[in-house]
Structures are given as structure tokens and as C-alpha cells.
Amino acid sequence: MLLSRPNYYRELPRVSTALMHTSSMQQKGIIEKAKDLGETVKKTGHDVNLKMGQELAHGIEEAEAVLHHTKKVGEKVKQSADETRNAAAQDLKSDTKGFGANVEEQARRLSEELQREKEVKMAHVRERAEDIKQAGEDKLSEGVDRVEDAIHDTSEQLGAKETTESNQAKHRLEDEVEDAVQRLQHKRD
């Protein structure tokens, strides 16, 4: 093939179709490997997200169970306090009809005592709920760390493999071009 320029002609090197086909096939192979690696990264990310979601769901279920349990405990404590107050008031009133003021004082003290017990139990339930919440946050933090490590490892693997394969393909192509040029020069001589 000749290029025309004013007062200047030169022949361009010709590249064989076999050489171009080989280079094309190598490029297709590299592209396919890159696609496979991309799919692997997507699948790994999906698996990590799925695992993290399951851990979060488990933590949420535990927190909901504690909350539900807390409500039940509160209701039972209130019901128990009411029953105890009523029973104590009935017992005291029937035993001490003449001492109405004394009965009311004892009922008030009993009510206060039950209120303190209720507050202690509610504090315990709150501590348990906080512990479960903290455990859920810790599991979430661990999941995030795992995802970051997986992404970092995958990106390092992709970068190293891609660089190595592209360098190898480049060197092979350069070698083939040099061989073709030498053959053409040898034929011309």
C-alpha cells in the first residue's frame, strides 16, 4: 500500500491476516477473562451483601423479641402490682376497719415498694435491650469490615492479573510484529 505525499512515496509495512487474527483472538480471550472476573466480583459482592443482610435481620429479630418481652414484663409487673395492691388493701381493710388511716398508709407504702420493684425490673430490661442493640451494631461493623476486605482483595487480584495479562499480550504482539518486519526485510533483501 502506498501513501502519496508531495514528492514522497513510501511503502507501509503489511501485517499478515493470520497475525491480525491471532491478535484479535488474544484480545477476545483477555476480554472474556475480564468479564469472568467482573462476574466473580459481582457474585462475591452479592454473597457478602446477602450474608450481611441475614446478620442484620437476625439482630433486628433479637431486638424485636426483647422489645416484645419488655412490653410483656411491664404489663405483668403492672398487673401484679395492681393485684397485690388490691389484695393488700382488701386484707388490711377487713382486718383494720377502725384504723382507716393506718391502712391507707400501709397501702401507699406497699404501692411505692411495688413501684420501686417495677422500676428495677424495667431498668434490667432496658439494659438487656441495650446489650442486644450493641451486639447488632457489632455484627454490622464486622460485616462492613468483611465487605471492605473482600472488595480490597478482589480489586488487588483484578489489577495484578489484568496488568500481567495485558503485558504478556503486548509483548507477544510486539514479538510477532518484529518477526513479521524481519521476514519482510529478509524477503526484500
Domain contains 119: yes
Q: What is the mean pLDDT of the chain?
A: 76
Predicted TM-score (pTM) of this structure: 0.28
Domain contains 118: yes
Domain contains 63: yes
pLDDT tens-digit series, residues 108-161? 888 888 888 888 888 888 888 788 778 777 776 776 677 777 777 776 776 666
Whether the pLDDT of residue 96 is over 60: the answer is no
Domain count, the chain: 1
Domain contains 81: yes
pLDDT of residue 53: 81
pLDDT of residue 176: 84
Contacts by 129-136, CB closer than 8 A, 24 or more apart = 129/63, 129/66, 129/67, 129/70, 132/59, 132/62, 132/63, 132/66, 133/63, 135/59, 135/62, 136/56, 136/59, 136/60, 136/62, 136/63
Domain contains 187: no
Domain contains 135: yes
Domain contains 9: no
pLDDT of residue 154: 72
74: containing domain: 56-146
pLDDT of residue 52: 84
Domain contains 67: yes
